[in-house]
A and B are shown apart, each in its own frame.
Chain A
């Protein structure tokens, strides 16, 4: 198809399906935790607003989770259909980790999801909170195992290679807790929390613009902005540590991210803010640089050596331009998130957080940026790993299944059509749910004003006296 061979098509198919898939976990990991918090707050404070918020986001979660599940099942089988040689060789190491994901996390989410969505009346508030908590823990467990797999593929250790070329586990502790795993896990979970905070903040902002007295919108917006100001700085620090780790274990990737073709044996490497990496001349054209800064960021020292792409054979360098740009997109968005959080913090301290229309508009504009940053981050790390599936040990070209071009091409087309159709519709439904005001979501039973001893006709309706459903 269009002159592509089977391996290129398999790569496109994997990139497409995995990019589509990651959107949903990035959202549902954060949202599941948010739901657990809301459910817990309702249980402990007795305030009805938390239950109403829970019910509001629960529906959105259910739609997103459904899409995450079905696109995830596709991923789990694609290793076999398109990357069967990888499956045979890396299966003994990677397979059990994924097996643990299914056994410890996937079942937990799926098993308690039904109770969380349908069962509040049947099981009571405490068991319902427990079910919500289990769903949240399940999503985090999923992240744990999948990032362990991914990290092992990036920084493999704890294995041997047997006579038929399979990776054989030797030390499971070393495999699971491989060198890049802690950084990757923290970075991804924080990214999921940021993504959710941005979405919740955007929806809060949207409803505040319409009615700044909207109680649900106020709580949403306030919680989301608080989350942002806590998590965004943490994420920047976590990203910095992750960078140090990548420099140690995947120097070629760092060189591509930074756009360093030349090595800097004495340190003092400049930070290339922008420019156009040119693989042919092995230079960065039109580079805007800040002296010394790259060395300072990457080694926390001005004089430590930094390798460049020219230190690596041409066929072992990742595609530099994609990695260079996706990395910049991610970092820029990260700082923009921090900026939004600071803005909201200042407004909060001045007591004007619910009045600042431009703040609400900015929150709406930033709503989808978590997804973009997550995608850019994954592109950076996955394209930066090329040309390897298992870093330094198994090349992507040697991992592909013996499947004919026609089969991969037609399945790729089918995936693209189906995904855009179905997930497009799903996104539309989610946006429509988000567009509804909280009050519209839950039909309130009219109970009229509460009269105290017949002398106060004023509408003294306390929120907690209004039944939710």
Chain B
């Protein structure tokens, strides 16, 4: 059990999903906040603050999905049909916003259409991801090796709440990214948005956290059972610290702090999810071990991942380093 392939992979997939949420989170967030940017220049600048990196960011989603397919094929085979509608909505939304990055520079007359497509796609993708998360937390009906529920099981007040929470959270991340990466009017708008979305995100995360333990007895026990509670209480405590850093950074114009505090908030929420889920992959019935592929598959991909993931992190870091600092309004290749 000390060295178990399935659990190593669970950790790696969790890392890929978290990397996705953080990285695509801020560029989706910029899309969500796009309508609040006034004037062509502000819009161009906001978009160029994410344009060089969005593609790499979204690749983590492919790794999350592809990795799940590779190492937990049964989880993939059960979860995807269960979340059919939100997944399809998310994919279509990502198509809409993905093409906007290139299309809106190619037309004058049609530009507003691609602005709408960028915003609408970003909101719907975030909302669908939040709904999918909520539906997974609630649990998925499984019989044998297949999904056994209906088309609309995912649609509940709770999943809508998690959907709204993720939209707010991504918007917060987008706002704090823009505070960090831009100057002038864009930064001013982003600061105002950061305050509003920050308050909304904290409230919504709090609400989701309060409801979650009551969805499933095992969650309740995990969070409030003794002695677990001594450790789990650290999560909300750390969130409060992050909120403090956020406020201090905003007040003192330390432009990187609010973004880093938001990252911490996401990481902590993610840890919170992990606390609820473990050792389940598809609650309430399939554990990590149930859904894992044979060891031969896990080994084969792990050997590559151990070499390639550090390389990916290195050159992704390089790409971010190339585009470090505030965005030059005259930059961009268009």
Contact = CB atoms under 8 A, between A and B. Distances in A.
B287 to A, nearest CB: 16
17 contacts: A76-B66, A84-B81, A91-B297, A95-B69, A95-B76, A99-B305, A111-B319, A113-B55, A114-B51, A114-B322, A115-B319, A119-B52, A122-B323, A134-B315, A169-B296, A172-B296, A402-B147
Given A69-B55, A402-B147, A414 B84 contact: no
B181 to A, nearest CB: 14
Nearest to B52: A114
7 shortest interchain CB distances as A-B pairs? A91-B73, A80-B80, A95-B70, A114-B52, A88-B77, A70-B98, A99-B70
Interface in B151-174: 151
B66 A99 contact: yes
A112 B315 contact: yes
Interface string A52-72: 000000110011001101111
A104 interface: yes
B62 A102 contact: yes
B255 interface: no
Given A103-B309, A104-B304, A118-B51, A411 B94 contact: no
A73 interface: yes
Interface string B74-114: 10111111001101100110111011011100110010000
Looking at B69, B79, B92, the one whose CB has the most chain A CB atoms below 10 A away is B69
A111 B95 CA distance: 19
Interface of A: 58-59, 62-63, 66-67, 69-74, 76-77, 79-81, 84-85, 87-96, 98-104, 106-108, 110-115, 117-119, 122-123, 134, 162, 164, 166, 168-170, 172, 401-404, 406-407, 411, 414-415, 418-419, 422-423, 425-426, 429, 432-433
Interface of B: 51-53, 55-56, 58-59, 61-63, 65-67, 69-71, 73-74, 76-81, 84-85, 87-88, 91-92, 94-96, 98-99, 101-103, 106-107, 110, 117, 145-148, 150-151, 293-294, 296-297, 300-301, 304-305, 308-309, 312, 315-316, 318-319, 322-323, 331-333
Contact of A114 (B53, B110, B293, B297): B53
B96 A418 contact: yes
Max chain A Cβ within 10 angstroms of own Cβ: one of B87, B99, B110:
B99
A411 B88 contact: yes
Nearest to A134: B315
Given A73-B91, A111-B312, A422-B96, A80 B79 contact: yes
A406 B152 CA distance: 11
Contacts of A122: 322-323
Task: Give chain B's interface secondary structure class.
Answer: helix
Contacts of B146: 84-85, 88, 402
Nearest to A411: B88
